[in-house]
């Protein structure tokens, strides 16, 4: 039987591949689906602190996705490039 952990791990690998290919929006969606699998897994094991922790991480990931989608996120990690954008 396939477990939620296995499905989440497969989705994690697919998300990493999409990130490698430069398809950031698609990879974030796949990562969020993997998180749903891990929430279900933690719930089944009655690990409620795990569920809360994963939901918090998913919330921040979803907010980052919205920020990227709206174009409000900086596209460079170099401080010099960020100063030019401000």
Q: 43 lies in which domain range?
A: 4-85
Quick check: 40 and 58 in contact, CB under 8 A?
no
- Let me know if 23 is exposed, middle or buried by CB neighbors in 10 A (0-12, 13-18, 19+): middle
Cβ pair 11, 37 in contact under 8 A: yes
Residue 82 confidence (pLDDT): 54
Confidence of residue 75 (pLDDT cuts 50, 70, 90): low
How many domains is the chain partitioned into structurally?
1
Q: What is the pTM of this model?
A: 0.69
* Residue 78 DSSP one-character state: -
Tens of pLDDT, residue by residue over 33-61, are 998 898 998 898 898 998 899 899 888 88
Query: Residue 66 pLDDT more than 90?
Result: no
């Amino acid at each position: 039987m396939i477990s939620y952990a296995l499905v989440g791990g497969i989705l994690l690998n697919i998300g990493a591949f999409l990130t490698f290919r430069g398809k950031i929006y698609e990879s974030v969606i796949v990562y969020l689906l993997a998180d749903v699998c891990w929430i279900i897994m933690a719930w089944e094991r009655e690990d409620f602190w795990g569920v809360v922790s994963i939901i918090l991480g998913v919330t921040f990931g979803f907010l980052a996705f919205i920020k990227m989608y709206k174009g409000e996120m900086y596209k460079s990690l170099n401080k010099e490039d960020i100063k030019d954008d401000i």
